[in-house]
């Protein structure tokens, strides 16, 4: 007779039954871990000359924009419920208008949602048409030629003053303090240099001060002796040059070698400590302007963060490119979307206190109530000496005293849905300090 308990099938069924009973009496299986929260990458472009004679300025601009990107990522911002990672795509436009439009299209093809740049007016103006056609907003931290925002293009902004503010500010300071009877004007034939020289010349002529026929060079010239010899024979009291420090330095040094006694003056492109390196003792007493507050007046938060991150002092426009990037990120957060069509209305109405003071745009995209700064080289150091705003001039020390005694304004960016945008440091925290580091622009 067969014993069923020894049958292989019976043994298997018994084991299966026993295992099911044991499983039923044990703990329930642990649920699978939740998936990680969704994330979104938001690409923002930055363009400046990273090679060539003014690469030091381009890198400074890039540093300011990069610092703002890194701070935003450290803040763990969420956009539309997703963890946002901001990515900066940096391109070298070589300060060349043709290359500028090429790299502008490259960034558009890479799907950037906004752009900070360019440094030069000569690259910013043609590139702005490329961005506008693609509906990509751009904010320049250093292009001052009025044409940039006079084209009527949608989504074009700047966070510093214009040359038709800077030129008259410097010229009025020279007229009041140096009282010239004859002025010589030279430019480098770029959109920036010629445009600023036009504004300076216009002011002097309007003030019935004699202006000699315009002299021109180019943005690569190193030998200015023929131009300077011609000017010297006409005995100007003041010489103004519209151009960058790479060409202004040799010009000033050669003027010194020719024993010219005129006061030499420059716009922000040559308002740099690099001028002292290029022209040495010839820079003593030179005057120059910047279309915004000097680095020494930037917020303490920015200055400390910049030095900690890059181990150097800011040159001039990095605080402005920092604010430009802050404005873009704040608008994206305020709109809760990286879609330019959604965040552009927020950007147009945004208002906050950044590293360079109060940021707000007018209907053209220009910064409202921009200050102008006047510098002078004293004892081999470039130092801010005056601030001009709305036609009123105060000494730099007076301005800093007022800034440090004023109550702190609310620092949250405002605008459509902008109340939750990243807060930025009030400019009243600027140090009381003094000589501007290396400075310059487009």
Q: Which structural domain, as residue segments, surrounds residue 90? A: 39-160+295-368+407-429
CA distance 437 to 97: 28
Mark whether 111 and 236 lie in a shared domain.
Answer: no
Number of H helices, E strands in the chain: 14, 17
- Please give the average pLDDT of every successive group of 10 residues along the chain, which has 442 residues: 44 44 53 76 98 93 98 96 97 96 98 97 97 98 95 96 94 96 97 95 97 95 96 97 96 97 96 92 96 92 97 93 98 98 97 95 96 95 93 92 68 46 38 36 48
Alpha-carbon distances, residue 315 vs 54, 59, 112, 133, 403 (angstroms): 12, 10, 27, 33, 21
pLDDT of residue 21: 42
In a domain, 250, yes or no: yes
Alpha helix segments (H runs only) across 281-395: 300-310, 318-335, 340-349
**185 and 266 share one domain:** yes
111 assigned to some structural domain: yes
Contact indicator for 232, 258 with CB cutoff of 8 Å: yes
Domain total of the chain: 2
The reply to whether 76 and 44 lie within a common domain is yes
- Is residue 192 situated within a structural domain? yes
222/244 same-domain check: yes
Position 373 in a domain:
no
pTM as predicted: 0.81
Q: How far apart are CA 283 and CA 293, in angstroms?
A: 21
65 and 144 share one domain = yes
How many CA atoms lie within 13 Å of 420's alpha carbon, on the beta-carbon side? 12
Report how far residue 168's alpha carbon sits from residue 202's, in angstroms, rounded to the nearest whole number: 8
My answer on whether 240 and 299 are in the same domain is no
Dist CA 332 CA 340 (whole Å)? 8
H helix intervals, 207-299: 225-232, 245-257, 274-279
| CATH code, domain with 129 | 3.40.50.2300
Instruction: Classify residue 6: in a domain, yes or no.
Output: no
Q: What is the DSSP letter of 352?
A: E
Structural domain contains residue 402: no
DSSP codes joined into one string, 137-150: -EEESS---THHHH
- The residue from 235, 263, 290 where one domain ends is 290
pLDDT of residue 405: 74
Q: Are residues 267 and 333 in the same domain?
A: no
First to last CA, the chain: 106
């Amino acid at each position: 007779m067969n014993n069923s308990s020894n049958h292989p099938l019976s043994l298997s069924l018994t084991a299966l039954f026993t295992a099911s009973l044991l499983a039923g009496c044990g703990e329930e299986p642990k649920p699978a871990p939740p998936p990680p929260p969704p994330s979104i990458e938001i690409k923002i472009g930055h363009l400046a000359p990273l090679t060539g004679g003014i690469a030091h300025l381009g890198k400074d601009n890039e540093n300011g924009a990069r610092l703002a990107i890194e701070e935003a990522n450290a803040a763990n911002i969420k956009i539309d419920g997703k963890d946002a990672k901001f990515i900066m795509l940096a391109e070298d436009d070589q300060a060349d208008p043709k290359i500028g439009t090429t790299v502008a299209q490259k960034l558009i093809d890479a799907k950037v949602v906004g752009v900070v740049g360019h440094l030069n007016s000569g690259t910013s103006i043609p590139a702005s048409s490329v961005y506008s056609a693609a509906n990509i907003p751009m904010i320049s931290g250093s292009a001052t030629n009025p044409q940039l925002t006079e084209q009527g293009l949608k989504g074009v902004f700047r966070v510093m003053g214009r040359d038709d503010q800077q030129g008259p500010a410097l010229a009025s300071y020279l007229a009041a303090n140096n009282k010239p009877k004859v002025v010589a004007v030279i430019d480098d034939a770029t959109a920036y240099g010629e445009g600023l020289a036009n504004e300076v010349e216009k002011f002097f002529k309007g003030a019935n001060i004699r202006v000699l026929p315009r002299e021109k060079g180019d943005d690569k010239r190193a030998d200015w002796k023929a131009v300077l010899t011609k000017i010297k024979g006409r005995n100007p009291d003041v010489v103004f040059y519209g151009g960058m420090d790479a060409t202004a330095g040799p010009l000033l040094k050669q003027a010194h070698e020719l024993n010219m006694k005129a006061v030499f003056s420059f716009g922000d492109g040559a308002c740099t400590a690099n001028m002292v390196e290029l022209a040495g003792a010839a820079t003593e007493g030179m005057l120059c302007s910047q279309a915004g507050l000097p680095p020494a007046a930037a917020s303490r938060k920015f200055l400390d963060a910049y030095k900690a991150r890059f181990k150097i002092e800011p040159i001039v426009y990095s605080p402005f490119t920092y604010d430009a990037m802050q404005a873009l990120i704040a608008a994206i957060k305020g709109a809760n979307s990286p879609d330019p069509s959604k965040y552009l209305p927020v950007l147009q109405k945004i208002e906050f206190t950044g590293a360079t003071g109060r940021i707000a745009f007018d209907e053209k995209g220009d910064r409202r109530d921009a200050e102008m700064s006047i510098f002078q080289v004293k004892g081999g150091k470039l130092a801010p000496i005056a601030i001009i705003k709305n036609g009123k001039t105060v000494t730099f020390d007076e301005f800093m005293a007022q800034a440090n005694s004023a109550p702190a304004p609310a620092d949250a960016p405002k605008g459509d849905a902008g109340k939750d945008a990243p807060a930025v440091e009030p400019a009243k925290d600027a140090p009381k300090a003094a000589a501007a580091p290396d400075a310059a622009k487009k």
